[in-house]
Chains A and B, each alone.
Chain A
Amino acid sequence: KAGVTQTPRYLIKTRGQQVTLSCSPISGHRSVSWYQQTPGQGLQFLFEYFSETQRNKGNFPGRFSGRQFSNSRSEMNVSTLELGDSALYLCASSLGPGGGGSEKLFFGSGTQLSVL
């Protein structure tokens, strides 16, 4: 079974640009969540999707958005990039939504975003 696939692996952008990251979950997994990882802030939750619906959102500005498609693939978008958005963006999938037992997340290798 293929794991969680994130594309692209590396991305370099300049301030003010926008970026779209893609995540393909493990086959059969319907829940996808996104995380930002930086040396200073650690792993921070961005949002979670289940059956094309956003279930919850972390404390990030509105420039960060996402969506999930009917095949469970997900994308996240960051508009008007800032230097502080440089980070590793990780996607994780699970069989069902988090809470009440579905806590085993399978992570992708991430997209390393550098904003210059």
Chain B
Amino acid sequence: GQSLEQPSEVTAVEGAIVQINCTYQTSGFYGLSWYQQHDGGAPTFLSYNALDGLEETGRFSSFLSRSDSYGYLLLQELQMKDSASYFCAVRDRGGNKLTFGTGTQLKVEL
């Protein structure tokens, strides 16, 4: 099965840069996804890394290294509205099931 670990909580100040890590133990998978979820809200898709390397979408970037079993989400120019939970996820090639990470609660302070 899959196992994806994330830090439970990260705190940063407005305007700063923060990195949320996702380490995993899994055999073959298609790629690494990231989702954002505000309290009481639905998860929303942020990014997807099918290949190793960096993917950039505005203030958000995501990175994947299959050789290191590691990925991260980078948020730049933090804003108060970025306070939310962030989840990484992988879909295994065998059973095609989507597994989510443990989730990271990001708190952005003034």
Contacts and interface: CB of A to CB of B under 8 A. Distances in A.
Interface residues of A, number: 26
B96 A56 contact: yes
B64 to A, nearest CB: 12
DSSP majority for the B interface? strand
Interface in A35-82: 35, 42-45, 48, 55-56, 58
Nearest to A106: B45
Interface of A: 4, 33, 35, 42-45, 48, 55-56, 58, 90, 92, 97-101, 103-110
For the side of the interface on B, what is the size category? 20 to 34
Contacts of B31: 103
Given A42-B103, A43-B103, A44-B100, A103 B42 contact: no
B93 to A, nearest CB: 7
B91 A43 contact: no
Contacts of A4: 42
Contact of B91 (A42, A90, A99, A106): A99
A43 B6 CA distance: 13
B87 interface: yes
A45 B103 contact: no
Nearest to B40: A109
